[in-house]
Amino acid sequence: MATVHMVTRRRGLARRLAAGLGEGHTVTRLAPAWFPAGEPDLLILEGAVLERLAPALAGLRPAPSGATVPVLLVAPRRSVARLAPDRWAVVDDVATTPVAGPLLRRRVGNLLERRRLETAARPAGLAGASPVSTMQAHTARLRENPVDTVFALTRAGTFRDEDTGAHIRRISAYCAELCDALGTSADFRDSLYHASALHDVGKIGIPDDILLKPGGLTAEEWATMKTHTEIGERILAGGEAACLQMGATIARHHHERYDGTGYPDGLAGEAIPLSARLMSLCDVYDALRSARPYKAPFDHGTATAIITEGDRRTRPEHFDPAVLAAFRRISGRFAGIFEATAEEG
């Protein structure tokens, strides 16, 4: 049973959110004056109280347990758009009002999962440690194992649309298979295994009404959607670990096409980093195999035929010929990976 604290002056909003959350949570409403109280598993914050609470929230990072208490901001889209960068530093995710129950449950589920992973991963013996030593232990852990930490921190942001956890795991596995088929170095393969999972992390910066829109996007919305590539690069840039550097490259270039018709830079041929050339074929295969609001899932044979022969949206010219040839040789492995995890959703 997760403990959720809701900080809002509006009883009606608290009631609606609690109803939207459904069962499995102990929800307590706190007036801003009572905050902070104990260490909940999740804080849900009404937009209007953020300004007042931001300093107290900064003090919660990391919380006494050593894990972060995730913060979900519930606010009208207008005020989210005006949020200052230092306020984003204390907010983990945003749900714009009015919030639909399924969306709220998804957001809350993701944040609680992150909290669970962080709590499970925290170094032993930190309970009761001073905030400084807790912070030092975290920093040391981040240096030792940036991969796990980054995964825990980015997972929450990347599962808002069709990209489920199973999709991310399959992408990593397809990439590793392609690396083996192409005979890349083991270091490249390992980095790509981790980095490919981060390809859509920039979607965290795309508003819900565009990301989750059931119908087609307008030209303006599509232009916004495409910025997930640049946002992702900005999120991951500056990391020292090889997989983070590759993650930044993949985030920016995973929608480039070999014939130069992709985005955001319209790169062509070998100007597109190899990691992104591998990744894009894997992403297209998985999207073809998966159900989407606008299409039923294709079987392996159809997905393979679309990639190697083309259809109205996809052309073989979109892919690096060497990567395409490797895919032809080992496409049966892609089928095996998909079928092993498809049940997970």
Residues that bind Fe ion (CB under 5 A): 200, 283
Token pair 């190697």 is found at: 308
Residue closer to Fe ion, measured from CB, 45 or 156: 156
Paired tokens of 29: 């409403």
- Least CB distance to Fe ion at residue 158 (A): 9
For the bound state, the minimum distance from the C-beta of residue 89 to Fe ion, rounded and expressed in Å, comes to 25
Least distance in angstroms from the C-beta of 70 to Fe ion: 23
Reading phi first (left if > 0) and then psi (alpha if -120 to 50, else beta), residue 124 is in beta
CB 191 within 8 A of CB 205: no
Q: How far apart are CA 273 and CA 255, in angstroms?
A: 12
279 burial type by CB count under 10 A (0-12 exposed, 13-18 middle, 19+ buried): buried
Q: How far is the CB of 200 from Fe ion (least distance, A)?
A: 4
Measured from the CB atom, the residue of 51 and 344 that comes closer to Fe ion is 344
Output 46 or 286, the one with its CB closest to Fe ion. Answer: 286
Minimum Å gap between C-beta 339 and Fe ion is 18
Instruction: Decide whether 46 or 200 has the Cβ nearer to Fe ion.
Output: 200
Pick 115 or 228: Cβ nearer Fe ion: 228
216 and 188 Cβ atoms separated by less than 8 Å: no
For residues 118 and 200, which CB has a smaller minimum distance to Fe ion in the complex?
200
Q: Which residues pair with 46 in a beta bridge?
A: 74
CA distances 344 to 148, 202, 275, 279, 337, Å, are 21, 24, 26, 21, 12
ω into 36 cis (within 30 of 0): yes
Q: Is 116 exposed, middle or buried (0-12, 13-18, 19+ CB in 10 A)?
A: middle
Pick between residue 39 and residue 161 the one whose CB is nearest to Fe ion.
161
Q: What is the 3-state secondary structure (H, E, C) of 14-26?
A: HHHHHHHHCCCEE
Give the containing element (helix H, strand E) for 287: helix 274-289
One-letter identity of residue 172: S
Contacts of 339 (CB under 8 A, 6+ apart): none
Shortest CB 162 distance to Fe ion, Å: 8
Print the SS3 string covering 139-205. Answer: HHHHHHCHHHHHHHHHHHHHCCCCCCHHHHHHHHHHHHHHHHHHCCCHHHHHHHHHHHHHCCHHHHH
Supply the residues annotated as catalytic.
203
